[in-house]
């Protein structure tokens, strides 16, 4: 290929990059919009510690019951609704799932019997909160067991001990962040060209370009280069926010991660080129892009981990174009893997890239 051909490619790549940063709507949907999702899901992930929303109704006037209530209010496990003072109010709250359960301390709770305070706390719950209530019962049993041991020490023939391994496990935000990067790549690679190309056809810009010596491959490559540059810049903003606000720990190589993200953007961008290049107008582009995008968004691990899906659905989602992208980002960024460790993901991305760009070249229309 001649230097003149590549000069044309680089020139158009610069023009496309400048056009992107001048387009306020494009900046919003590719930078601000994903950041909003990042902040929302990041805040939700931070709230992942075990806790129970409960009502605590004390019907006893014993000192032991009063002390138990004070301790419960200071326990991070319990988020006590102080507005609830009667069982009827608690029942209404539980019906609307505003609280998980109600702990009732009966009148005799804490009364001294054989020189020791005794009693039985009641946990009241509804059918739709049974799982949370069973967990709460287990927690309370462990707490009362500790209290019993302090009051009446007993020897235990069998015990269990925990041991922490040195392996680093993924947090909820680690999974969330990789999925949100996948969401951002969809915005860059599909929604961008799907919105831009029909508009360029409508304005007659692509028709005028077709009258020049510009080849389809030159136009494609220039757009791909521009989108890769834009993607690295915009996704870097997401990384900075995740590191500064949500304490994301990137344990892998930034260079490997950048290379993987560039390849991912190139692959997904081909889908946008195929749809946007084929569609004559927005009415054709929008429905087709939604048909392609929504299955990937919900089945590729964008908003929740794929291991929560049924096994047969995981098998299907393994071969979606976005799945190896999200899995590879997660492996490199949060598990410290290198490019040689994600060859299966790279292989799937390469196969999809070839298929997608063959379709894009065959379906592209200048007008």
Minimal CA–CA distance to 345: which of 332, 362, 328?
A: 328
The token pair at 83 is 């507005």
Q: How far is CA 94 from its chain centroid? A: 29
Map tokens 């997401």 to a residue: 238
The residues near 50 (Cβ < 8 Å, ≥ 6 apart) are 77, 135
Let me know if residue 64 belongs to a domain: yes
Contact 298, 213 (CB under 8 A): no
Q: 222: domain range?
A: 11-46+169-363
Residues in the chain: 367
The residues near 278 (Cβ < 8 Å, ≥ 6 apart) are 284, 363, 364, 365
* pLDDT score at 349: 93
CA angle 313, 317, 190 (to 5 degrees): 140
* pLDDT score at 343: 92
DSSP element (H, E) containing 116 = strand 116-118
The residues near 112 (Cβ < 8 Å, ≥ 6 apart) are 118
Task: Report the CATH number at residue 58.
Answer: 3.40.1710.10
The 8-class DSSP code of residue 84 comes to -
Q: What is the pLDDT along the chain (367 residues), one digit of tens a residue?
A: 567 777 777 887 888 788 777 777 667 777 777 788 788 877 766 655 567 888 898 988 898 889 888 888 888 888 888 888 888 888 888 887 788 888 999 888 888 877 788 888 888 888 777 777 788 888 888 888 888 777 777 666 655 555 544 455 556 676 778 888 888 888 887 877 777 777 777 777 777 877 777 787 888 888 888 888 888 888 888 888 888 888 777 888 889 999 999 999 989 888 888 887 787 777 777 788 888 888 888 888 787 777 778 888 888 888 899 999 999 998 898 888 889 889 999 999 999 999 998 988 888 777 7
How many angstroms separate the CA atoms of 335 and 328, rounded? 10
* pLDDT score at 344: 92
Map tokens 């993901």 to a residue: 345
Q: pTM to 2 decimals?
A: 0.68
3-class secondary structure, 150: helix
Both 59 and 31 in one domain: the answer is: no
How many angstroms separate the CA atoms of 185 and 188, rounded? 5
Q: How many domains does the chain have?
A: 2
Q: For 242, phi and psi rounded to 5 degrees?
A: -65, -40
Both 175 and 33 in one domain: the answer is: yes
Both 125 and 268 in one domain: the answer is: no
DSSP element (H, E) containing 113 = strand 111-113
Let me know if residue 157 belongs to a domain: no
Q: Which residues pair with 104 in a beta bridge?
A: 57, 122
* pLDDT score at 165: 44
Both 84 and 197 in one domain: the answer is: no
Both 77 and 174 in one domain: the answer is: no
Both 69 and 115 in one domain: the answer is: yes
* pLDDT score at 231: 84
Both 268 and 199 in one domain: the answer is: yes
Q: Burial-class residue 54 by CB neighbours within 10 Å (0-12, 13-18, 19+).
A: buried
Both 139 and 207 in one domain: the answer is: no
The residues near 269 (Cβ < 8 Å, ≥ 6 apart) are 188, 189, 190, 192, 193, 223, 224, 227
């Amino acid at each position: 290929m001649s230097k003149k051909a590549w000069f044309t490619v680089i020139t158009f790549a610069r023009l496309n990059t400048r056009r992107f940063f001048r387009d306020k709507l494009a900046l919003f949907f590719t930078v601000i919009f994903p950041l909003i999702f990042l902040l929302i899901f990041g805040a939700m992930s931070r709230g992942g510690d075990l806790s129970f929303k409960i009502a605590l109704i004390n019907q006893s006037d014993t000192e032991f019951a009063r002390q138990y209530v004070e301790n419960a209010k200071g326990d991070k496990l319990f988020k006590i609704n102080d507005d609830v003072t009667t069982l009827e109010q608690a029942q209404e709250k539980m019906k609307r799932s505003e609280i998980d359960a109600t702990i009732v301390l009966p009148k005799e709770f804490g009364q001294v019997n054989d020189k020791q305070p005794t009693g039985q706390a009641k946990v009241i719950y509804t059918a739709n909160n049974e799982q949370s209530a069973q967990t709460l019962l287990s927690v309370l049993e462990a707490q009362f067991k500790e209290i019993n041991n302090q009051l009446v020490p007993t020897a235990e023939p069998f015990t269990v001990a925990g041991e922490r391994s040195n392996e680093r496990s993924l947090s909820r935000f680690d999974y969330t962040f990789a999925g949100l990067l996948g969401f951002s790549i969809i915005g860059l690679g599909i929604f961008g060209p799907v919105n831009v190309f029909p508009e360029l056809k409508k304005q007659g810009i692509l028709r005028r370009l077709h009258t020049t010596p510009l080849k389809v491959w030159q136009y494609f490559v220039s757009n791909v280069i521009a989108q890769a540059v834009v993607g690295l810049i915009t996704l870097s903003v997401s990384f900075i926010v995740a590191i500064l606000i949500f304490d994301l720990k990137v344990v892998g190589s930034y260079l490997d991660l950048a290379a993987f993200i560039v390849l991912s953007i190139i692959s997904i961008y081909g889908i946008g080129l195929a749809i946007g290049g084929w569609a004559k107008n927005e009415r054709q582009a929008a429905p087709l892009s939604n048909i392609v995008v929504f299955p990937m968004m919900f089945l590729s691990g964008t908003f929740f981990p794929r291991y929560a899906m049924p096994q047969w659905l995981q098998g299907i989602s393994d071969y979606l174009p976005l799945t190896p992208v999200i899995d590879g980002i997660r492996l490199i960024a949060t598990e410290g893997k290198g490019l040689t460790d994600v060859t299966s993901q790279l292989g799937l991305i390469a196969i999809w890239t070839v298929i997608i760009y063959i379709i894009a070249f065959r379906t592209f229309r200048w007008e």
